[in-house]
């Protein structure tokens, strides 16, 4: 493995490894013929670093943004010398996508470190080519080698933005030091409905001083506002460094659009000149897809829920509990996943031959469902969860684990039918970790519907209130490691200083139906 790569800064010219700078002074990038490298001061600039995401055994998405209409030139290699380029392609970054561009790098060797190099070529002046930005990711393995990942959620919420004097978004730097194979962002990747003020008063008398931008000085309603939320986060050097080295599997929750929205909501909220939740969702969704390195072709075009097969040990199911949501009040027709997503999830769980099936949920299960008093059948959003948990039990699907964020504290919940109102399911774990960089909340009361037992939790205490600033150390992420040989899953809940707060090791149960298949299965998704 080589040393750490450096990528472009949002505010300054990019910095690079000197050994790589010389490799760019060529007249060809991979198999793409280019004019001589431009030394013009008018060359395009890569504005917000690079990202990769949705990595599989043989492919991965890469992302960057230019400062003008430009062609993104993509090269990938298995060494950081870029002598063995295995992929070269291009995609245009146009005003229609706010000059963002992303591309799928395919036909990669499984389990290998992949180094990628991006340039932008000015569409109005072909001689003008940006300096390169560099990144890397590891392709998923096809063998049973040990793997690890981190997850969290809730970035730049409650007015806690980037205070450079406090180190910025430090949890990203901590997660990077753990060198995970990938990162699952469980949602609230922006807080479109929270402004970032210039400063906030802290309970200890100090002042928190944010970097401010025009787009983050109001709640997001326009497409430019939503884009501005992602650009704000990418001003943070910790986040950009993390993105350059760790692929992200991104979900969304509610704050990518607005607090607690649902598509059919009759919308009239204070502070908003737009009255349609669906219109805001369309703009928020577009910005999310522009700025997050999701694949273009998940289980249905443009959607967020999808499966990522990460070798024989792990399959990830990323859910979307916002886009297909029914009314927030408890009714018998209150969808959470929607019929299509629920059918997809059941089908893909059943056909999964991976040892561990990790379900990443934007909403903690302990907060889902309201029950009619005395009834054993859930109403409201819990209907589909009850159906799903029953299905998992009766289909003989083993080794499902849920991960989530959203509570703005960290916890280990063991869902036990013996403790539940709805009891037709096998016990399972849900691990909660967040926020990455937002207010820490105090403990919330959990719904009893699926019988969560709190095995561990760490939160703000009630005296600290429900919006404790990130500088007080209660920022959290989860770390999951699957050992290749015994296939044991070890889950560790950590804080911003990388302290281990709690950990457990779970042995996989044998899954006869799955083990009959060889891996990988032919997959449609
Ligand atoms: Fe949140």
DSSP string of 53-82, one letter each residue:
E---SS-EEEEEEESSSEEEEEEEESSTT-
7 within a domain of the structure (yes/no): no
Report CA(154)–ligand 1 centroid distance (Å).
Answer: 4
Instruction: List the one residue out of 75, 73, 69, 74 whose CA is nearest residue 122.
Output: 69
User: Quick one: 235 and 90 in the same domain?
Assistant: no
Q: Provide the pLDDT for residue 421.
A: 86
H/E stretch holding 398 = none
Q: Provide the pLDDT for residue 513.
A: 44
Do 294 and 287 form a contact (C-beta atoms < 8 A)?
Answer: no
Question: Which residue is listed with tokens 């309603």?
Answer: 221
User: Quick one: 107 and 170 in the same domain?
Assistant: no
Report CA(407)–ligand 1 centroid distance (Å).
Answer: 7
Report CA(191)–ligand 1 centroid distance (Å).
Answer: 8
Report CA(216)–ligand 1 centroid distance (Å).
Answer: 17
Domain that holds residue 80: 13-138
Report CA(253)–ligand 1 centroid distance (Å).
Answer: 8
Separation between Cα atoms, residue 103 and residue 53, nearest integer Å: 10
1 within a domain of the structure (yes/no): no
Instruction: List the one residue out of 475, 505, 477 whose CA is nearest residue 489.
Output: 505
Report CA(89)–ligand 1 centroid distance (Å).
Answer: 37
477 within a domain of the structure (yes/no): yes
524 within a domain of the structure (yes/no): no
DSSP code of residue 100: E
Domain end among 115, 138, 161: 138
User: Quick one: 167 and 118 in the same domain?
Assistant: no
State which residues of the chain have pLDDT below 50: 1-28, 513-525
Report CA(153)–ligand 1 centroid distance (Å).
Answer: 7
Question: For position 227, which CATH number holds?
Answer: 3.60.21.70
User: E strands within 416-516?
Assistant: 428-432, 452-458, 476-482, 489-495, 500-506
Instruction: List the one residue out of 212, 188, 215 whose CA is nearest residue 200.
Output: 212
Domain end among 138, 167, 196: 138
User: Quick one: 198 and 60 in the same domain?
Assistant: no
168 within a domain of the structure (yes/no): yes
Q: Provide the pLDDT for residue 463.
A: 82
Q: How far is CA 350 from CA 57, 91, 144, 396, 510, in A?
A: 21, 37, 21, 8, 15
**Pairing label, strands 400-404, 356-360:** parallel
pLDDT tens track for 247-293: 999 999 999 999 999 988 877 788 888 888 999 999 999 999 999 99
User: Quick one: 127 and 177 in the same domain?
Assistant: no
| Rg, Å, the chain Cα set | 23
Separation between Cα atoms, residue 169 and residue 156, nearest integer Å: 8
Domain end among 116, 138, 160: 138
Report CA(474)–ligand 1 centroid distance (Å).
Answer: 14
Separation between Cα atoms, residue 295 and residue 303, nearest integer Å: 10
Q: Integer distance in angstroms from the first to the last C-alpha of the chain?
A: 32
Report CA(9)–ligand 1 centroid distance (Å).
Answer: 27
Report CA(109)–ligand 1 centroid distance (Å).
Answer: 37
Report CA(210)–ligand 1 centroid distance (Å).
Answer: 19
User: Quick one: 116 and 220 in the same domain?
Assistant: no
Report CA(105)–ligand 1 centroid distance (Å).
Answer: 32
User: Quick one: 132 and 183 in the same domain?
Assistant: no
280 within a domain of the structure (yes/no): yes
Do 494 and 478 form a contact (C-beta atoms < 8 A)?
Answer: yes
User: Quick one: 202 and 230 in the same domain?
Assistant: yes
User: Quick one: 162 and 279 in the same domain?
Assistant: yes
Q: Strands across the sheet with 85-93, in order?
A: 85-93, 70-77, 113-122, 133-138
User: Domain count of the chain?
Assistant: 2
Report CA(302)–ligand 1 centroid distance (Å).
Answer: 23
Report CA(274)–ligand 1 centroid distance (Å).
Answer: 22
Q: Provide the pLDDT for residue 296.
A: 83
Question: For position 127, which CATH number holds?
Answer: 2.60.40.380
6 within a domain of the structure (yes/no): no
Strand partners for 116: 76, 135
pLDDT tens track for 426-440: 999 999 999 999 999
520 within a domain of the structure (yes/no): no
Report CA(294)–ligand 1 centroid distance (Å).
Answer: 20
Report CA(194)–ligand 1 centroid distance (Å).
Answer: 11
User: Quick one: 234 and 343 in the same domain?
Assistant: yes
User: Quick one: 217 and 322 in the same domain?
Assistant: yes
Q: Provide the pLDDT for residue 387.
A: 92
Report CA(406)–ligand 1 centroid distance (Å).
Answer: 5
Token representation of residue 225: 């506002």
pTM, rounded to two decimals: 0.91
Residues that place a CB less than 5 A from ion ligand 1: 154, 188
User: Quick one: 184 and 333 in the same domain?
Assistant: yes
pLDDT tens track for 194-232: 999 999 999 999 999 999 999 999 999 999 999 999 999
């Amino acid at each position: 493995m080589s040393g750490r790569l450096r990528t472009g800064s949002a505010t300054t010219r990019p910095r690079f490894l000197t050994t790589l700078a010389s490799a760019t002074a060529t007249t060809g990038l991979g198999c793409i013929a280019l004019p001589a490298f431009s030394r013009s001061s008018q060359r395009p600039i890569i504005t917000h670093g690079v990202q990769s995401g949705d990595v599989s055994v043989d492919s991965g998405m890469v992302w960057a943004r230019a400062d003008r209409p430009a062609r993104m030139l993509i090269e990938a290699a298995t060494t950081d010398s870029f002598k063995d380029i295995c992929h070269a392609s291009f995609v245009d970054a146009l005003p229609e996508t706010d000059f963002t561009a992303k591309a799928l790098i395919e036909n990669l060797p499984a389990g290998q470190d992949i180094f990628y190099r991006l340039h932008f070529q000015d569409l109005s002046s072909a001689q003008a080519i940006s300096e390169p930005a560099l990144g890397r990711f590891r392709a998923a393995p096809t063998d049973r080698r040990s793997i690890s990942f981190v997850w969290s959620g809730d970035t730049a919420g409650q007015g806690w933005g980037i205070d450079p004097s406090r180190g910025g978004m430090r949890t990203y730097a901590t997660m990077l030091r753990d060198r995970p194979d990938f990162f699952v962002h469980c949602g609230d990747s922006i807080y479109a409905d929270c402004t970032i003020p210039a400063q906030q008063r802290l309970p200890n008398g100090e002042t928190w001083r944010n970097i401010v931008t025009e787009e983050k000085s109001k709640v997001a309603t326009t497409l430019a506002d939503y884009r501005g939320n992602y650009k704000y986060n990418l001003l943070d050097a910790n986040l950009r460094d993390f993105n350059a080295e760790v692929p992200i599997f991104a979900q969304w929750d509610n704050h990518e659009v607005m607090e607690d929205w649902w598509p059919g909501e009759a919308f009239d909220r204070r502070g908003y000149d737009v009255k349609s939740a669906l219109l805001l969702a369309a703009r928020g969704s577009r910005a999310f897809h522009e700025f997050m390195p999701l694949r273009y072709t998940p289980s249905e075009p443009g959607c967020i829920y999808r499966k990522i097969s990460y070798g024989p040990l792990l399959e990830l199911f990323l859910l979307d509990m916002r886009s297909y949501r029914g009314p927030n009040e408890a009714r018998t027709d209150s969808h959470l996943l929607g019929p299509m997503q629920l059918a997809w999830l059941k089908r893909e769980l059943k056909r999964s031959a991976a040892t561990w099936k990790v379900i990443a949920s934007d909403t903690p299960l302990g907060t889902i469902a309201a029950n009619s008093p005395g009834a054993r059948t859930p109403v409201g959003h819990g209907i589909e969860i009850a159906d799903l948990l029953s299905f998992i039990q009766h289909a003989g699907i083993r080794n499902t684990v849920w991960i989530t964020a959203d509570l703005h504290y960290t916890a280990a919940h063991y869902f036990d039918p013996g403790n539940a109102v709805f009891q037709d399911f096998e016990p399972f774990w849900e691990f909660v970790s967040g926020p990455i960089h937002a207010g820490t909340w105090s403990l919330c009361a959990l719904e009893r519907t699926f019988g969560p037992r709190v095995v561990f939790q760490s939160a703000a205490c009630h005296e600290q209130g429900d919006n404790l600033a990130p500088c007080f150390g209660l920022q959290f992420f989860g770390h999951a490691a699957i050992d290749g040989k015994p296939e044991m899953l070890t889950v560790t809940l950590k804080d911003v200083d990388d302290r281990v707060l709690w950990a457990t090791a779970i042995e996989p149960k044998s899954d006869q139906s799955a083990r009959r298949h060889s891996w990988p299965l032919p997959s449609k998704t």
